[in-house]
């Protein structure tokens, strides 16, 4: 009898201990921290946006290393997972995704879904590769070089750093260049410009109105 009571008590203790451990167990976490290309960043020499057919690298936590155990959708459209690890997935931007801001959602059984917004363009993102010259006076000419720049003067908005060297992080005092091509555009150093990076404002997604991000040149030095 005593042995039976002792065994029963031990089983109850094990049951309660297991229950407490289950209750205190941290919830499973699925998290997306960044997606490249696609996650738009302010500043830098290029605009990080994706195109249809691009391979997305999704970084985060809680992914399965078995590709088929992860489900990825881009604006509700499913796309196969190409490679998988616990912290990184790769998937392709599927056809039918709009040229706008879209949601990338990662799902895994037993985990709450994780998502992150990216921007999709129909054309490659603009990239700045350099400027010439790298210094000059107010009124002098500066040429910005790059790839996939906007070819119409009116489509380009440029801003210099202010007299204190503060970069224009928002749409402040922009002006249009003198001429523009896909690989270069030319501007004149305006009055009250200061030493710093020149900002070129571009839309991260063509179908989103009044939304601009800046990509920047190397430092331009304004001399007396």
- Could you tell me which CATH number the domain at 127-222 has? 2.60.40.10
Residues 6+ apart with CB under 8 A from 3: none
Quote the pTM value. 0.73
Task: Write down the pLDDT at residue 44.
Answer: 75
The domains of the chain are located at 31-119, 127-222
Residues 103-116 pLDDT 10s: 999 999 999 999 99
Residues 6+ apart with CB under 8 A from 138: 189, 190, 191, 192, 193, 222
End-to-end CA distance of the chain: give it in Å, rounded.
101
Nearest CA-CA partner of 106 in 49, 35, 37, 53: 35
- Find out if CATH 3.40.640.10 is the number for domain 31-119: no
Is the per-residue pLDDT at 207 higher than 80? no
Task: Write down the pLDDT at residue 110.
Answer: 93
DSSP symbol at 39:
-
Is the per-residue pLDDT at 58 higher than 70? yes
Fold agreement (31-119, 127-222): yes
Give whichever of 19-28, 35-44, 55-64 has the largest mean pLDDT. 55-64
């Amino acid at each position: 009898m005593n042995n039976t009571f002792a065994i029963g008590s031990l089983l109850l203790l094990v049951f309660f201990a297991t229950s407490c451990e289950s209750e205190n167990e941290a919830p499973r976490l699925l998290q997306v921290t960044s997606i490249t290309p696609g996650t738009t960043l302010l500043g830098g020499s290029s605009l990080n946006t994706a195109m249809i057919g691009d391979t997305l690298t999704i970084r985060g936590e809680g992914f399965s290393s078995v590709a088929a155990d992860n489900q990825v959708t881009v604006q509700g459209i499913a796309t196969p997972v190409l490679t998988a690890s616990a912290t990184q997935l790769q998937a392709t931007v599927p056809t039918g995704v709009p040229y706008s801001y879209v949601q990338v959602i990662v799902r895994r059984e037993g985990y709450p879904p994780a998502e992150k917004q990216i921007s999709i363009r129909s054309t490659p993102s603009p990239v700045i590769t350099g400027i010439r010259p790298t210094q000059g006076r107010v009124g002098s000419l500066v040429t910005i070089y790059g790839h996939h720049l906007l070819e119409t003067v009116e489509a380009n908005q440029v801003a210099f750093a202010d007299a204190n060297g503060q970069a224009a992080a928002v749409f402040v005092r922009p002006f249009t260049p003198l001429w523009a091509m896909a690989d270069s555009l030319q501007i004149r150093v305006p009055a009250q410009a200061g030493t710093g990076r020149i900002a070129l404002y571009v839309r991260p997604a063509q179908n989103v109105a009044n939304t601009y991000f800046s990509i920047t040149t190397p430092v331009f030095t304004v001399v007396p």
